[in-house]
Amino acid sequence: MTARTLYQKLVASHTVARLDPQNVLLFCDLHLMNEYTSPQAFAGLQEQGRGVPMPGQNVAVVSHVIPTIPTQAPQLRVIADAAPALQASNLKRNCDRYAIPLFDTNDALQGIEHVIAPEHGMIRPGMVVICGDSHTTTYGALGALGFGIGTSEVEHVLATQTLVYRLAQDMRIRVDGQLPQGTTSKDLVLMVIGQIGAQGARGFVVEFCGSAIAALSVEARFTLCNMAVEAGARGALIAPDATAIDYVLARAPDIQDGVRQAALAHWATLHSDAGAVFDVEHRFDASAVAPHVTWGTSPDQVVAITGQVPRPEAQPEGPVRRSTEQALRYTGLAAGAAIAGTPVQHVFIGSCTNARIEDLRAVAAVVRGRHVADGVRAMVVPGSGAVKQQAEREGIAQLLLDAGFEWRQPGCSMCLAMNGDLLAPGVRCASTTNRNFEGRQGRGAITHLMSPAMAAAAAVTGCITDVRTLELQHG
């Protein structure tokens, strides 16, 4: 039998029909929806008089447009703006109509779809998971093939639980060695994106492997797979090991007895075979990774914290040089200047990339015994109601409040400036999010991507700071 990659196995096990050499009809185990990308799809269903044959394999979340302003119990969260409120109410009406489970605005466990789904045991190894959001690649951390789809495809999945899917190529990224103290999977993935480029994985599903990947927690793997799309990847995978399986079993009480044994037997096959051929391979040494920070307006415009802002004249003539020049005009940084020491006026800790409990613990270790610097506004937005409750039980929320941080309600928030949480023009933000495009966090706002620990360091020092220079205080 021909050796196959993990990606090839997942596609083969979900192929309903081969349509042509490049396209298959793919069965989707789980379809996640939000209020932002689903309205047109539901409208199309209603116009055609179609139903949803598998409502239980669809789950909806109000996450993007919901305000994250703190409220006092039993006060309800209210979406005040008319257009976002209509999106949320339409989602509820549509979910009620088709019997689709919904994490609504005031559900205690509401949050960001890519945080909620795995923490409630919805994601299992070997699944195909789709969503009208590009960061669905997150689920590869558990050995599931996740990827984003468009609105017309959302309608097709609702009506058929299948998707016309164009096959991708295979890429393997091996990372061996040990991440040094003070560095994280966020630094690793920023480094990788910087090395291969924002289009370096375009058309590929990336499989991460190696001793450094095996040593990562599941939450760190979520971050890695989440940001693979910023290199253009159509998916990201990590073969499920004991770490991933333990995570799933702890959150999936339905997997018991004979079902458990069958699941474990199947999951043991979910790896790339010895001799499987990848179209492209990259290797990196984790021990060489330092904390990384973006300087420009694309996630691949990134340097180590000890590095300098690049000089346009040092770049090859053509698109790269022009992009560098434009990014420097937008960010207001001086070519050749050290990235460390760059003042910030805002810090945002949140998003589907870095708003899990492990991230907030890392923030707490930096903040403990310190205070937000004068002139800095710092916000922490937990990824879900469950994360928020856990952080409050552990005392993290109170520690952050005492240090001058805002402790917000769950939601996408300032990641994409789709609600009231946005930056004013010219404001420079240290952010744990996944994109630093022009205007991403507000028109004219400037975003520097970094890890939660690095963002916390920026909050307490008032500038982009190497977290390794600060003494950490673990609780």
Return all residues near 309 (Cβ < 8 A) that are at least 6 apart. 295, 303, 328, 333, 334, 335, 336, 337, 338, 339
- Ramachandran region of residue 473, left (φ > 0), alpha (ψ -120 to 50) or beta? beta
Q: Which amino acid, 268?
A: A
| List of residues 6+ apart from 142 with CB closer than 8 A | 118, 123, 124, 125, 218, 221, 238, 240, 244, 247, 248
Classify residue 333 by its DSSP letter.
Answer: P
High-pLDDT (> 70) share of the chain, %: 99
Phi, psi of 331 (to 5 degrees): -80, -20
| pLDDT value at 96 more than 90 | yes
Same fold, 166-288 and 292-469: no
pLDDT tier, 84 (very low <50, low <70, confident <90, very high otherwise): confident
Q: How far apart are CA 35 and CA 65, in angstroms?
A: 8
Q: Between 66 and 303, where is the model more confident?
A: 303
Tokens of 451: 């890890």
Give Rg (Cα) of the chain: 22
Residue 168 binned pLDDT confidence (cut-offs 50, 70, 90): very high
Closest CA to 147 of 233, 230, 207, 223: 233
Q: Would you kindly state where each structural domain of the chain is located, as residue ranges?
A: 28-165, 166-288, 292-469
Strand boundaries in 271-397, DSSP class E: 280-285, 292-294, 302-304, 346-349, 377-380
In 3D space, the residue among 122, 103, 86 whose CA is nearest the CA of residue 33 turns out to be 103
Tokens representing 320?
């790269």
Continuous H helices in 205-318? 211-214, 218-227, 242-251, 257-267
Here the tokens at position 154 are 């959302």
Q: Look at the domain 292-469 and name its fold.
A: Aconitase; domain 3 (3.30.499)
Scan for tokens 């923030």, then name that residue: 363
Measured in residues, the chain has a length of 475
185 Cβ contact partners less than 8 Å away, ≥ 6 residues apart: 179, 216, 220, 221, 223, 224
Mean pLDDT of the chain: 96
Q: Distance (Å, rounded) from C-alpha 88 to C-alpha 63?
A: 9
The predicted structure's pLDDT at residue 288: 97
Supply the pLDDT for residue 338: 98
CATH number of 28-165: 3.30.499.10
**Phi-psi group of 469: left, alpha or beta (phi > 0 → left; psi -120 to 50 → alpha; rest → beta):** alpha
Q: How confident is the model at residue 475 (pLDDT cuts 50, 70, 90)?
A: low
pLDDT above 90 for 1: no
- 3-state SS assignment for residue 61: strand
Tally Cβ neighbours within 10 Å of residue 202: 13
pLDDT reading at 474 higher than 70: no
State the average pLDDT over residues 381-389. 97
pLDDT at residue 309 in the model: 98
User: Mind listing the pLDDT tens digit for each residue in 10-44?
Assistant: 999 999 999 999 999 999 999 999 988 788 899 99
Task: Report the CATH number of the 166-288 domain.
Answer: 3.40.1060.10
| Nearest Cα to Cα of residue 124 among 281, 272, 313, 253 | 253
Across 43-52, 238-247, 312-321, the highest mean pLDDT is recorded for 238-247
Helix, strand, coil shares of the chain, percent, nearest 5, are 35, 20, 45
